[in-house]
Amino acid sequence: MINDENKRELVCVYSLPRSGSTAFLAELDKWKGVICLPESYFPQILEYLSEEELNNPRTLAAYFLSSSPSGSLLSFEEAMQCMEPKDLRKTLINIGLSCAQKLGRSISDVKIIVWKTTRIIGRWELFSKCGGRFIVLRRNKYNIFESQFRVSFGVHNRNPFRFALFHESYEAVFQRLPEQQRFSAFYEDIPSLAKQLGSWLRVSGERRSDGLSSLASTHGKQEWHDGLLSDFNSMDEEKVKKVSEVQKISIELGCFVGRQFHWLLARFRDRYDFLIFKQVRHEALTGRTLSVEDTF
């Protein structure tokens, strides 16, 4: 178990799938004092768990691994050693520090531990109570729509109007995040954000020189993770050109309609989050994965 003797902060990146959040984390993970974990819904999953589950380190470790779709840097036993049932904030910090240690980094230098979720996004209160803050990452919606045709899990969002409602369901939830604990960023602005984001995170933004990237384990395993470890390179302009004017009009219309019904879309989003949790629970308790369609 790693002792949290220094003051460290928790941050979680919230975004739509295909918004460049993994590339964003790969860039942020290069900063001195920052450790970014591969995508995991674990901080959000904790809100659904029973008191009995929250008090069982073995169960918590199983939930951590099953809620990390890109894989975990930690083994089951290593994850279990991080669990502090009476102190969830310390649990989340322990996981980050254990990952940093495994990557050969100096844990005494780690000041910010960054989590990320693109699926379960309606759960944020427990993370906030643990002192966590939030980065909302957005991207050009035409780019995100175009990417639905390049990944198998995007098949349900290839209808532009439906995609627009899906997009607005996320926006409805983003508005729930406490404004004073929220930093909003656009993917296209990543190169120019260093000073502003560094100030918000309270780190220098200077690049570290020790240890491996926390995204090295996912690099190359999925087509959409290729190039993660290279320098930032936005291809938004090129991809937006692939979206037809008819599709753009349909997306704008869908977003306009969706904004009038944010309250309803947020409820649908909550329902979909719970379905994802059921999938994670099934895998955690049985070791098998259920299929949840990318739909709400």
pLDDT per residue over 159-217, tens digit each? 999 999 999 999 999 999 999 999 999 988 888 888 999 999 999 888 888 888 888 76
The more confidently predicted of residues 217 and 48 is 48
Alpha-carbon distance of 183 to 136, in angstroms, equals 6
User: Which pLDDT score is estimated for 227?
Assistant: 60
What phi and psi values does residue 103 have, to the nearest 5 degrees? -90, 5
pTM for the model = 0.91
Distance between alpha carbon 185 and the CA centroid of its chain, in Å? 14
Segment 99-116 mean pLDDT = 94
Quick one: what percent of the chain has pLDDT higher than 70?
Answer: 89
Structure confidence by residue, pLDDT tens digits, 54-78? 999 999 999 999 999 888 999 999 9
DSSP code per residue over 92-131: HHHHHHHHHHHTT--GGG--EEEEEESS--S--HHHHHTT
* pLDDT for position 212: 85
DSSP for residue 236: H
pLDDT digits (tens, 9 = 90+) for 206-226: 888 888 888 876 655 555 565
Length of the chain: 296
Selection from 244, 85, 250 nearest residue 161 by Cα: 250
